Chains A and B, each alone.
Chain A
């Protein structure tokens, strides 16, 4: 991005007393005394701004925002200082949110496909035609195949009404990549053992933590304001940071100790830690006695996992494992084993996740200062709706965001005695992926179900945001799915490789131009926050709720969208919570104050309330439900793939100013990083004649390949390469992102975790050669 207008001090004439006799005084000083800021004030630039509140859509942490507008145009995004997700801070991505609204490449009008599917020939149509066609085609599929033949894949803070529409339509097949492609094994581990989700906006008392054991949680680059701030404050307050990652990330550079652990072997290290903590009696004995079952059995099972066993697997010295365990125990319970955000890597992510939960539980961190706090909830009831007649029972009508409650019994979907359809992706279905979350589903398996038309036909697809290609890995399956369905309608703000296949494109208003349903979150404070429009939609776009309501009305499902406008819906919900839309619009967020007695019950003579999915009121170190299914074998270490001498582990991750595959076409974030590069160690690079900046070809064992520039750096293991996620777009409509770098998603593995059904993306092994 070049700047056309350069800052030119000579243009800043001094405003003297002669300028209308109105010399400025600043902080009591005449302006001449502060010559440097004594610029001529352009009255245009000082025009008043209006201010509205919102929450961010640039990543999935959802920071609270204040957005200022002038002349009907949003001009500045700031943080809402009252919002516990960010306390007033906005990151680079958040600031670049303005460019989502002002991007020239946005989807601006409803479009109809006129060429072959995926060919890219479109015709602008009216909203009426777009919605009429969509309703007609969906009803056609429903009549011919039944309501279950519709799949919904959503990704974003505004996907909720689409989930409601799909549930009202009667399909159980609604999914969001958050489980199968990202955090599933992590959330599930905490759920199974502790009955807690601990995903999304993690409830960690970072400020008071004294010891962070970070398993690739690259918190300074895969950053979320509130979380990163809390961690920085914790470090400032004297916490020790021990960081594990095959790559020396920025977080590694801030750590007290760094281990370049062998890729995919975190589980072995964690098992050895558990072994030491148990055998050397470093655990919280009181906590174990009062709140935990399964300790003795766990003790037996981990005996073989000694630090000496783990050393050759992980390349972490046994003596260090012993020392780290002791150090942590000395600081417990103000300690935390920090899971990677995305835990879809090895062939046993579930075991890795459970080991993390077990360690944290052994250290008694739950409900303790410096550990995991118990969140408070601002109770905002959902609106009264008719029962979802055909969709699976006990479904929570919310999707696509982290901050809602888990279904009371997440496994209720296993047996369905009322004849309702099981999910096509097998999530929550006995004999398939029974422990996968049936609310978010397995997006990877949903694509497969569509492509293979098994276990039953899926003939229509709605996507609400997201990019099936770049957020998943198996392009052939996704392409086949998109080509196979009878009808595909996509709602989004930006064009991308997936919605290129749509029959109807519904352009969404950006998050700066619309209301959305409420953000109901649980932090130390309980809170509910509002998203208000900072300006009118620039183009012929609509918000998700309005789109879904208008579709529902056309399919005789209007009862599920009983309000005339999204504003009425918000007001209705808020009134049930004792407030109103008018009230929340003044402040942006309503809160229940933090309460140490509730947040940290064990520090205040209180008790911890536990309820696991298996019905236990104590933490289950070896969950009984898993034992019944034989899934407790996930606790045991599974040998991971190793590269041949000429191969590398293929790794990928985030950077501070890009989110997933959604920001590469944003000119402001692209200005910070336009393309990704391949991190490779100098030794293997020299062996291959690769120098910094050389174009190299990366090829995996399946023959998939891509060409990318090399970054030769000692900041990575010799057997590992790395690239930042989300690049390598091939949709030419994304004029900034097109052809920049390589799509890691086309090189990552598409194996699945054998217990959860989530993806094991880190199993890919690649060769690198100079082009």
Chain B
């Protein structure tokens, strides 16, 4: 079983996993070399919705820089990435905004980052939709790290899972990615993004939302 530790060990410690000998995750630098930028883009999206700690923002900036070095000039996401670059500087306000938007909003209600909230009739977390994602991950040998504070259907987990799937060559992973996007993410992320925009977020999160729209086509 591969530990899905990207969250708890910081986003870009995938190398560690590779080093500790768990099976098939490729190291980031290998991914970067590939023409397919999808894994990095999903990782970036995942990181943007994760708690913006100083270390994580630093890692995001490195990832963005690497992406900008390899990305073709005509890539559709380039303008958003360029706009994001100056935003990737840690400020406490960023963490306050993150807490306001996704955890304990006041006076507005939080934009719940869990698929289950949007998909279950009673808005419960850990609903069937969560278990479906958990199962999907398990079939790929992935599970959410126990100390991550995340559920499998948290937007960070799902985007990170998409990054993993996009990094795999095999047909099954490709099918899972498609299924996840079309039959699951498409059912809740558009509502999530719409509510995020309504919450009048600071530029960082406006761009994160735009980036997610650009990436998924939702």
Quick check: which of B27-35, B69-77, B121-129 contacts chain A, the rest being far away?
B121-129
A107 to B109: give the CA distance in the assembly, Å: 13
Whether the pair B100, A124 counts as a contact (CB closer than 8 A) is: no
- In A93-144, the 8 Å CB interface with B consists of 98-99, 101-109, 111, 114, 119-124
Whether the pair B96, A104 counts as a contact (CB closer than 8 A) is: no
Of B114, B121, B122, B151, which is in contact with the most chain A CB atoms at under 10 Å from its CB?
Answer: B122
- In A670-686, the 8 Å CB interface with B consists of 671
Whether the pair A109, B149 counts as a contact (CB closer than 8 A) is: yes
- In A685-744, the 8 Å CB interface with B consists of 731-733, 735
Whether the pair B109, A1 counts as a contact (CB closer than 8 A) is: no
A120 to B105: give the CA distance in the assembly, Å: 8
Q: Which residues of A contact B122 (CB under 8 A)?
A: 1, 99, 667-668, 671
Q: Which residues of B contact A124 (CB under 8 A)?
A: 51, 95, 98-99, 103
Contact with A along B95-120 (1 / 0, CB 8 A): 11011100111111110101001001
A731 to B104: give the CA distance in the assembly, Å: 11
- In A218-240, the 8 Å CB interface with B consists of none
A5 to B146: give the CA distance in the assembly, Å: 31
Whether the pair B121, A4 counts as a contact (CB closer than 8 A) is: yes
Residue B134 is within 8 A (CB to CB) of chain A in the complex: yes
Chain A residue, CB-CB nearest to B114 = A104
Q: How close is A87's CB to chain B, nearest CB, in angstroms?
A: 29
- In A503-542, the 8 Å CB interface with B consists of 505, 536, 538-540
Residue B92 is within 8 A (CB to CB) of chain A in the complex: yes
Cβ-neighbour of A102 out of B126, B146, B149 (below 8 A)? B126
Whether the pair A114, B146 counts as a contact (CB closer than 8 A) is: no
Q: Which residues of A contact B92 (CB under 8 A)?
A: 114, 123
Whether the pair B123, A109 counts as a contact (CB closer than 8 A) is: no
Cβ-neighbour of B126 out of A4, A538, A540 (below 8 A)? A538
Residue A22 is within 8 A (CB to CB) of chain B in the complex: no
A98 to B127: give the CA distance in the assembly, Å: 11
Whether the pair A540, B125 counts as a contact (CB closer than 8 A) is: no
Q: How close is B149's CB to chain A, nearest CB, in angstroms?
A: 4
Whether the pair B103, A108 counts as a contact (CB closer than 8 A) is: yes
Q: Which residues of A contact B95 (CB under 8 A)?
A: 123-124
Q: Which residues of B contact A165 (CB under 8 A)?
A: none
Of A5, A104, A120, A732, which is in contact with the most chain B CB atoms at under 10 Å from its CB?
Answer: A104
Whether the pair B121, A114 counts as a contact (CB closer than 8 A) is: no
Whether the pair A3, B131 counts as a contact (CB closer than 8 A) is: no
A615 to B69: give the CA distance in the assembly, Å: 87
Q: How close is B104's CB to chain A, nearest CB, in angstroms?
A: 5
Whether the pair A104, B117 counts as a contact (CB closer than 8 A) is: yes
Q: Which residues of B contact A668 (CB under 8 A)?
A: 122
Whether the pair A73, B126 counts as a contact (CB closer than 8 A) is: yes
Cβ-neighbour of A733 out of B109, B124, B125 (below 8 A)? B109
A3 touching B121 in the complex, CB below 8 Å, given contacts A114-B96, A124-B103:
yes
Whether the pair B124, A103 counts as a contact (CB closer than 8 A) is: yes
A159 to B19: give the CA distance in the assembly, Å: 45
Q: How close is B192's CB to chain A, nearest CB, in angstroms?
A: 12
Whether the pair A111, B124 counts as a contact (CB closer than 8 A) is: no
Q: Which residues of B contact A536 (CB under 8 A)?
A: 146
Q: Which residues of B contact A119 (CB under 8 A)?
A: 106
Chain A residue, CB-CB nearest to B95 = A123
Whether the pair A111, B131 counts as a contact (CB closer than 8 A) is: no
Q: How close is A71's CB to chain B, nearest CB, in angstroms?
A: 6
Q: How close is A668's CB to chain B, nearest CB, in angstroms?
A: 7
Of B104, B117, B120, B134, which is in contact with the most chain A CB atoms at under 10 Å from its CB?
Answer: B104
Chain B residue, CB-CB nearest to A2 = B121
Q: Which residues of B contact A102 (CB under 8 A)?
A: 124-127
Number of interface residues of B (CB under 8 A): 31
Q: Which residues of A contact B109 (CB under 8 A)?
A: 732-733, 735
Interface of A is mostly: loop
A536 to B152: give the CA distance in the assembly, Å: 14
Whether the pair A540, B117 counts as a contact (CB closer than 8 A) is: no
Of A4, A98, A122, which is in contact with the most chain B CB atoms at under 10 Å from its CB?
Answer: A122
A495 touching B123 in the complex, CB below 8 Å, given contacts A104-B114, A108-B149:
no
Chain B residue, CB-CB nearest to A71 = B131
Q: Which residues of B contact A121 (CB under 8 A)?
A: 96, 100, 106
- In A346-388, the 8 Å CB interface with B consists of none
Q: Which residues of B contact A109 (CB under 8 A)?
A: 103, 149
Cβ-neighbour of B104 out of A1, A98, A99, A495 (below 8 A)? A495
- In A534-581, the 8 Å CB interface with B consists of 536, 538-540
Chain A residue, CB-CB nearest to B51 = A124
A733 touching B126 in the complex, CB below 8 Å, given contacts A1-B121, A104-B117, A123-B99:
no
A5 to B108: give the CA distance in the assembly, Å: 30
A500 to B107: give the CA distance in the assembly, Å: 11
A2 to B122: give the CA distance in the assembly, Å: 7
Q: Which residues of A contact B125 (CB under 8 A)?
A: 102-104, 106, 538
Q: Which residues of A contact B114 (CB under 8 A)?
A: 104
Chain A residue, CB-CB nearest to B107 = A732
A668 to B51: give the CA distance in the assembly, Å: 30
Chain B residue, CB-CB nearest to A495 = B104
Q: Which residues of B contact A671 (CB under 8 A)?
A: 122
Q: How close is A306's CB to chain B, nearest CB, in angstroms?
A: 57
Of A4, A108, A540, which is in contact with the most chain B CB atoms at under 10 Å from its CB?
Answer: A108
Q: Which residues of A contact B117 (CB under 8 A)?
A: 104
- In B121-156, the 8 Å CB interface with A consists of 121-127, 131, 134, 146, 149, 151
Whether the pair A122, B131 counts as a contact (CB closer than 8 A) is: no
Q: Which residues of A contact B134 (CB under 8 A)?
A: 71
Whether the pair A120, B121 counts as a contact (CB closer than 8 A) is: no
Contact with A along B51-86 (1 / 0, CB 8 A): 100000000000000000000000000000000000
Chain A residue, CB-CB nearest to B148 = A540
Q: Which residues of B contact A71 (CB under 8 A)?
A: 131, 134
A599 to B48: give the CA distance in the assembly, Å: 65
Chain B residue, CB-CB nearest to A536 = B146
Q: How close is B139's CB to chain A, nearest CB, in angstroms?
A: 14
A104 to B124: give the CA distance in the assembly, Å: 6
Q: Which residues of A contact B51 (CB under 8 A)?
A: 124
Q: How close is B111's CB to chain A, nearest CB, in angstroms?
A: 11
A120 touching B106 in the complex, CB below 8 Å, given contacts A114-B92, A536-B146, A668-B122:
yes
A104 to B103: give the CA distance in the assembly, Å: 10
Whether the pair A120, B104 counts as a contact (CB closer than 8 A) is: yes
Of B120, B127, B149, which is in contact with the most chain A CB atoms at under 10 Å from its CB?
Answer: B149
A101 to B96: give the CA distance in the assembly, Å: 25
A735 to B108: give the CA distance in the assembly, Å: 9
Of B51, B108, B124, which is in contact with the most chain A CB atoms at under 10 Å from its CB?
Answer: B124
A539 to B105: give the CA distance in the assembly, Å: 17
Q: Which residues of A contact B98 (CB under 8 A)?
A: 124
Q: How close is A98's CB to chain B, nearest CB, in angstroms?
A: 8
Q: Which residues of A contact B120 (CB under 8 A)?
A: 4
Q: How close is A83's CB to chain B, nearest CB, in angstroms?
A: 26
Chain B residue, CB-CB nearest to A671 = B122
Q: Which residues of A contact B149 (CB under 8 A)?
A: 108-109, 539-540
Contact with A along B173-207 (1 / 0, CB 8 A): 00000000000000000000000000000000000
Whether the pair B127, A500 counts as a contact (CB closer than 8 A) is: no
A259 to B103: give the CA distance in the assembly, Å: 50
Q: Which residues of B contact A106 (CB under 8 A)?
A: 125
Whether the pair A667, B124 counts as a contact (CB closer than 8 A) is: yes
Could you list 13 examples of A-B contacts with CB < 8 Å? A103-B124, A104-B112, A104-B117, A104-B124, A107-B104, A114-B96, A122-B96, A122-B103, A123-B95, A124-B98, A495-B104, A668-B122, A733-B105
B residues whose Cβ falls under 8 Å from a Cβ of A: 51, 92, 95-96, 98-100, 103-110, 112, 114, 117, 120-127, 131, 134, 146, 149, 151
| Other 19 A-B pairs with CB < 8 A, given A5-B121, A103-B125, A538-B126 | A71-B131, A71-B134, A98-B124, A107-B104, A109-B149, A121-B100, A122-B96, A123-B96, A124-B51, A124-B95, A124-B99, A500-B106, A540-B149, A667-B122, A668-B122, A732-B105, A733-B106, A733-B110, A735-B109
List the 5 shortest-distance A-B pairs measured between CB atoms, nearest first: A120-B106, A540-B149, A102-B124, A4-B121, A122-B99
